[in-house]
Structure 1
Amino acid sequence: MDPSAAKEYVTLISNLFTHYQGLNRGSMKVTHLQGHILEFMYSKQKALNLKEISEGLEIAKQQLTHVVSGLEKKGYLIKRPDERDKRAVLVTLTPAGKAIEEQKWRVLYQKFIKSFNQLTEEEQFDFCFALHKVNTLLQKMGG
C-alpha cells in the first residue's frame, strides 16, 4: 500500500472536521454533547433505549443519563418506559427536538453554499466530482 493514501485520508478527515466545525459554529443552542445526542436521535428517526444511544455514540451510560435528562428538561426529548423491556427506557425526539436539528441543518446548508460559491465554476465541478469519487470509493472499501 502507498503510505501517502493513508496520510491523505487522515488529512481529509481533519479538513472535513475543521470545515464542519466552522459551518456548525453557533448553529445550536445546546452543548456539544447534547448536540451529538440530538443529531444521533434525528439520524435514527425512531425511539431508542439508552443502551443503543450509549453504544452508538460510545458514551458511558451514566453520563448519557444525565445529558438526556437535561435535554428532556429543555423539551427536546421524551423518556418513556419500554413496553417490551420493563427495565429499559425509550428516548424519542419531540417536535422541538426535530425542529432544532432541522434548523441546524438549514443553517449548515446555507453556510456551505456561501462557502462553496467562493470557488470558481471549475473548482465547484472538481469539488463535486472529488466528493462523489471519494464517497463511491469509501462505500466500496466498506466500514
Structure 2
Amino acid sequence: MPAPEDTAEQIAALLDGLVRRQRRASKADLDVTHGQLRVLRTLDNADRALRLSELANQLGIVPRSATSVVDDLEAAGLVARKPDPDDRRATLVNLTPAGTKVLATIRRLRRDAMVSLVERLEPSEQAELLRLLTRLSDD
C-alpha cells in the first residue's frame, strides 16, 4: 500500500492535470488569461461595482497588479471604469455586457469539458466522486 504522502502526491498530480485540461478546453478562441478570468469572476460575484482596491483585496494581489489586469480587460471591452460618486479619488470597476458574455462562454466550455470527463463514470461513481470532492472541499 502506498504511503499517504505518495497517495496525496498522485491525487494532486491527477487533479492538476484535470484542471489544466479544463482550462485548455475553455480557451477556445478566447484571449483571456487565468488572472483576467479571476477578475471577471470576482466582479460577477460582487453585488455592485468594486473599487480597484477592493478588487485587489478580494483577489489577494497588490493594487498595481489589479490595475494592470483591469487595464487589459478594459482595452478588450470586458470591464468598464467609472468614477466613484462617494470618493472622487477612487475608481469603480464593473463587467460590461461583453465581459458577462465572455464569462458565460468560458463557464459553458469548462462545464462541457467536465461533462465529457465525468460521462466516463457510472452515475453511482459520479455521485461518489461528487461526495468525496465535497467532503474534501468543506472547510
Partner letter of residue 41 of structure 1? Answer: L
C-alpha separation in 1, matches of 2:45 and 2:15: 19
Partner letter of residue 102 of structure 2? Answer: I
SS at match of 1:30: coil
C-alpha separation in 2, matches of 1:106 and 1:62: 31
C-alpha separation in 2, matches of 1:86 and 1:12: 49
Q: CA deviation at 1:133?
A: 3.4
Are residues 119 and 94 of structure 1, via their aligned partners in 2, closer, same or farther at CA, if it must alter by over 3 Å?
same
Q: CA deviation at 1:66?
A: 2.0
Per-residue CA deviation, residues 11-49 of structure 1 (Å, 9 max, x unaligned), is 766654442232121424212322221122122242100
Are residues 18 and 72 of structure 1, via their aligned partners in 2, closer, same or farther at CA, if it must alter by over 3 Å?
same
Identity fraction in percent:
28
C-alpha separation in 2, matches of 1:88 and 1:17: 38
Q: CA deviation at 1:120?
A: 2.5
Alignment: residue pair count: 132
Are residues 125 and 33 of structure 1, via their aligned partners in 2, closer, same or farther at CA, if it must alter by over 3 Å?
closer
After TM superposition, the structure 1 = structure 2 runs for residues 85-100 of structure 1, keeping only pairs within 5 Å, are 85-100=87-102
C-alpha separation in 1, matches of 2:118 and 2:107: 16
C-alpha separation in 2, matches of 1:15 and 1:45: 35
* TM-score where L is the length of structure 2: 0.80
After TM superposition, the structure 1 = structure 2 runs for residues 38-53 of structure 1, keeping only pairs within 5 Å, are 38-53=40-55
Runs of at least 5 residues in structure 1 that lack an aligned partner in the other structure: none
Aligned to 1:36: 38
SS at match of 1:46: coil
C-alpha separation in 1, matches of 2:25 and 2:134: 28
Partner letter of residue 27 of structure 1? Answer: S
C-alpha separation in 2, matches of 1:89 and 1:47: 9
More displaced stretch, 126-135 vs 57-66: 126-135
* TM-score where L is the length of structure 1: 0.78
Q: CA deviation at 1:128?
A: 2.6
C-alpha separation in 1, matches of 2:43 and 2:69: 13
Partner letter of residue 124 of structure 2? Answer: E
Q: Does 1:24 align with 2:12?
A: no
